Amino acid sequence: MSRPFTTKQGSYYLNVKVPKALRTRAKGRRVSLPVAGEQHSVMIGEKVVLSLRTKDPETAKTRFRLAVQALGQYFEALEKGPQLLTRTQRTALVGDIYREAVRDLETDDSFLDAIEATTTEFDANVAHHLGSTPADESLDGIPARPADEKTAELLAAIDMYDSRALAAWAVKYETDPTKRAVALEQLYGPLVDGEIARKQVLVDETSRSKTLEVMDQAADAFGEMATRRLTSLDFSDPFGAGLPAWNAPKPVTPGAVAAPRGVLTMEKLFAKWKEEHATSRSPSTFRRYGFSIDALIAFWGERDVRLMTSDDVLAFAKERRKTIPAATFNKNDLVAVSSILGWATSPLAGKLLASNPAYKIRLPEDKKTVTREKRFRDSEIAAILLAARHARFNPKMPRASASRRWAPWICAYTGCRIQETCWVTKDDIYRDGDVWLINFPKTKIDIARRVPLHPALIEEGLLAFHAQAPSGYLFCGDVPQKPGATRTQQEQRASELSEWIREQVTLDPSLSPNHGWRHTFITRAEDAGIAKRKSNAITGHNTAKDASDGYYAPSAAELKKIIDCYPRYDLDVKPHESGAAPGAGVDEED
């Protein structure tokens, strides 16, 4: 007979093997077991292991017996498979949640205070947006606030800075069934799932969805009852009095339960996501996401991703925190994981997941001390541009050596991103009337843009280089990308340029050898009095403040006026702890 397991420290644990017949079905699921009057969730593996929270042997025996009994009931439910709930059973399940909330209301004054504070704040916000404020807050007789209740309640919910308030508004007013289902899930999903776990049953998806609807009715009734207690000391509860008692569903006849779905691993889900986004996402995105998803797969294993909870994602985050900074996790891993899990909840993905377990997960980041500005200083500008000017031509790798000679100069006088230069072909430098232009066909925001050549670039000899260059890419080879490759030639060339610049010039480690030009250009343009809207037209920054910003599309002549206002760089500045090594060779393959 199984008994409590004790550690060397004297703590007692439940440590029970999962029946062989159920191991495949149970592994990776969570079960809720009672310990010391509270429910505790535990992940099932080959065994179920849970602390009994005691070192006393008699107490451990009692807690063990109750936990094992609940675990046995769960195994029975697992063997039966998902159960259909009748209308009465759905109402009874919600009824137990409702009665627990009423008990909290009766025994915890802070709970009632919180309800009163939230209700008061929301009602005040609604009144505010309905316009029940002094008349002088209108302009020329036009009301300053909406008069309809639906809009007023939406604005009030926004004012609450609480996603649950917005979800409650969506449940009340949303007519799109899909959006309403998402809101119901956000409001009541965890409560219903917790109660299902306590009752040790498995519930089919249809019954669960209908239970969420009942939960919404119970929430309305609870709100009305709490309001009566607050405003009139009326303790009547007709809704609670009419709720039925819970009776577990009876086993269904064999064959009536839908066959269990295959295991949806994180690896399979990522493959589905990549297939769906094959043409809408770049290979670099697949590569960047791949590192993060591989880390999650190593943590999560072959378990079904539909069993993943927010606690699991948080545990993954804490595990990653041991090897990478929190900021790196938030910026890279979390973006990738949340993007894919969020897609899995959408209708386009077939609603593979009911909710996104990565939603609102974020690690607290250490305060970062900024040691210097991100733009280049005058001595650094001179050192980089002089190193580029003296880059040695290599006839065996003409495009690689050309990239070293011209990419830094083009970035310096256009504020473009380094990869944008690497996509430029010979045909992308052309003349429009009296204006020579360089076209950047592939950009970060997928909007091509053209920039007039600054007089300094023409004087430096860019047009002479262009005239002699062969057709195709100016700074990368024309060999097609290999199948399955995750980095384009342009990405590789950008990385090579970054490494080359650091070899030539001593730069602060916090500076980006390539992207620093973007910061430099924008700063100098501002100092030169170039309006931000005009500067954005040159750099391609997508920082529209209003619709008209997106409409601004100056002609080649107007762009020429803007670029001519940009000041030249002074290359006679004496380097300060920065130095160029002119004449460096080119060793990489083209």
Looking at the fold, whether 109 and 220 belong to one and the same domain comes out as: yes
pLDDT value of residue 577: 44
What the block records as the tokens of 491 is: 């990405």
Q: Tell me, what CATH number does 476's domain have?
A: 1.10.443.10
* Closest-CA residue to 50 (of 82, 18, 97): 18
Domain stops at, among 63, 80, 97:
80
Q: Tell me, what CATH number does 331's domain have?
A: 1.10.150
Residue 344 located in a structural domain = yes
DSSP 451-484: EEPPHHHHHHTHHHHHHHSPSSBSSS--PPPPTT
* Closest-CA residue to 430 (of 540, 568, 539, 556): 556
φ, ψ of residue 273 to 5 degrees: the values are -65, -45
Domain stops at, among 207, 224, 241:
241
Q: What is the rounded CA–CA span in Å between residue 126 and residue 137? A: 16
Residue 365 located in a structural domain = no
pLDDT value of residue 261: 45
What the block records as the tokens of 384 is: 């980089």
State how far the alpha carbon of 4 is from the alpha carbons of 20, 58, 60, 66, in Å.
21, 10, 7, 12
Residue 438 located in a structural domain = yes
What the block records as the tokens of 387 is: 């190193």
Domain stops at, among 45, 61, 80:
80
Specify whether the CB–CB gap between 537 and 452 falls below 8 A: no
Looking at the fold, whether 415 and 550 belong to one and the same domain comes out as: yes
pLDDT in tens, the chain (590 residues): 468 888 888 899 989 888 887 888 788 877 888 888 887 878 888 889 999 999 998 898 888 888 888 888 888 877 777 778 888 989 999 999 998 888 888 877 676 667 667 777 777 776 776 765 444 444 444 455 555 777 766 676 676 666 677 777 777 887 888 888 888 888 888 888 778 877 777 788 888 889 998 988 888 888 888 888 777 777 888 888 888 888 877 654 433 333 334 688 999 999 999 999 888 887 778 888 988 999 899 889 888 898 899 989 999 999 988 888 888 899 999 999 999 999 999 888 888 888 899 998 999 988 777 778 999 999 999 999 999 999 988 888 899 999 999 999 999 999 999 999 999 999 999 999 999 999 999 888 778 899 999 999 999 999 999 999 999 999 988 766 666 556 788 888 998 999 999 999 999 888 889 889 999 999 999 999 999 889 999 998 865 566 666 677 889 999 999 999 999 999 986 655 444 444 444 444 44
Looking at the fold, whether 148 and 199 belong to one and the same domain comes out as: yes
Nearest-5° angle of CA 59, CA 62, CA 67? Answer: 120
Q: What is the rounded CA–CA span in Å between residue 376 and residue 72? A: 67
Residue 526 located in a structural domain = yes
Looking at the fold, whether 341 and 421 belong to one and the same domain comes out as: no
Q: What is the rounded CA–CA span in Å between residue 239 and residue 216? A: 13
pLDDT value of residue 549: 64
Q: What is the rounded CA–CA span in Å between residue 67 and residue 72? A: 9
Helix, strand, coil % in the chain, rounded to nearest 5: 55, 10, 40
Residue 572 located in a structural domain = no
Looking at the fold, whether 64 and 92 belong to one and the same domain comes out as: no
Give the other-Cβ count within 10 Å of 463's Cβ. 14
- DSSP helix/strand/coil, 30: strand
Cβ burial 61-95 (10 Å sphere, 16+ → b, else e): eebbebbbebbeebbebbeebbbebeeebbbbbbb
Outline where 40-80 has alpha helix (H). 57-80
Residues 6+ apart with CB under 8 A from 409: 385, 388, 389, 457, 460, 462
Looking at the fold, whether 408 and 551 belong to one and the same domain comes out as: yes
State how far the alpha carbon of 183 is from the alpha carbons of 156, 355, 357, 497, in Å.
17, 10, 15, 49
Looking at the fold, whether 100 and 30 belong to one and the same domain comes out as: no
Residues 6+ apart with CB under 8 A from 334: 317, 358, 361, 362, 363
Looking at the fold, whether 66 and 98 belong to one and the same domain comes out as: no
Split into its structural domains, the chain has a count of 4
Structural domain range at position 446: 378-564
Torsion from C-alpha of 198, 200, 201, 207, nearest 10 degrees? 0
Outline where 144-176 has alpha helix (H). 149-159, 163-173
**Is the Cα torsion angle 568, 572, 577, 582 positive or negative in sign?**
positive
pLDDT value of residue 341: 94
Residue 590 located in a structural domain = no
pLDDT value of residue 252: 46
Looking at the fold, whether 94 and 76 belong to one and the same domain comes out as: no
**Is the Cα torsion angle 225, 122, 183, 41 positive or negative in sign?**
negative
Looking at the fold, whether 291 and 326 belong to one and the same domain comes out as: yes
Residue 586 located in a structural domain = no
pLDDT value of residue 303: 86
Looking at the fold, whether 340 and 401 belong to one and the same domain comes out as: no
**Whole-prediction pTM value?**
0.50
Q: What is the rounded CA–CA span in Å between residue 246 and residue 522? A: 67
Q: For helices 205-232 and 109-130, what crossing angle results, to 10°?
A: 90
pLDDT value of residue 383: 94
Looking at the fold, whether 408 and 556 belong to one and the same domain comes out as: yes
Residue 366 located in a structural domain = no
pLDDT value of residue 581: 44
DSSP 416-464: --HHHHHT-BGGGEEEETTEEEEEE-S-TTS--EEEEPPHHHHHHTHHH
